[in-house]
Amino acid sequence: EAGVAQSPRYKIIEKRQSVAFWCNPISGHATLYWYQQILGQGPKLLIQFQNNGVVDDSQLPKDRFSAERLKGVDSTLKIQPAKLEDSAVYLCASSLVGTHGNTIYFGEGSWLTVV
């Protein structure tokens, strides 16, 4: 089966510019996650969707980050305006309903460099 698709794979922007990342989860997966992985650290959850509703966005810097999952399938993560510390890999993941016991499948990530 097709895996989690993400684009773009790489992006370089200047600080204060905006950027958007797109994710297409595995077909039939109701739960979608966006993680931020800073170099040398483990991934950190930014936001979790169940279908098109937000389950957890407590770690999302809402003054600059936004995410949506229209129609409960694809998702977009936006950063505006970007800061230097936003340089990271943004990982999209999906799973069947919920997290408990269900394997979470990750995409290859979108690598962001803010200069």
Partner 1 sequence: AQSVTQLDSQVPVFEEAPVELRCNYSSSVSVYLFWYVQYPNQGLQLLLKYLSGSTLVESINGFEAEFNKSQTSFHLRKPSVHISDTAEYFCAAVFSGANNLFFGTGTRLTVIP
Minimum distance between the CB of residue 100 and partner 1, rounded to whole angstroms? 6
Minimum distance between the CB of residue 109 and partner 1, rounded to whole angstroms? 6
Contacts of 49 (CB under 8 A, 6+ apart): 31, 32, 33, 55, 67, 69, 72, 75
Q: Which is nearer to partner 1, 79 or 107 (CB)?
A: 107
Q: Which is nearer to partner 1, 47 or 82 (CB)?
A: 47
Minimum distance between the CB of residue 81 and partner 1, rounded to whole angstroms? 27
66 class by beta-carbon count within 10 Å (0-12 exposed, 13-18 middle, 19+ buried) = middle
Q: How far is CA 42 from the centre of its chain?
A: 14
Give the residues lining the site for partner 1 (CB under 8 A): 4, 33, 40-45, 48, 55-56, 91, 93, 98-101, 103-109
Q: Which is nearer to partner 1, 27 or 41 (CB)?
A: 41
Minimum distance between the CB of residue 37 and partner 1, rounded to whole angstroms? 8
Structure tokens at 83: 């800061």
Q: Which is nearer to partner 1, 17 or 22 (CB)?
A: 22
In b/e form, how buried is each residue of 79-90, taking b as 16+ CB within 10 angstroms?
Answer: beebeeebbbbb
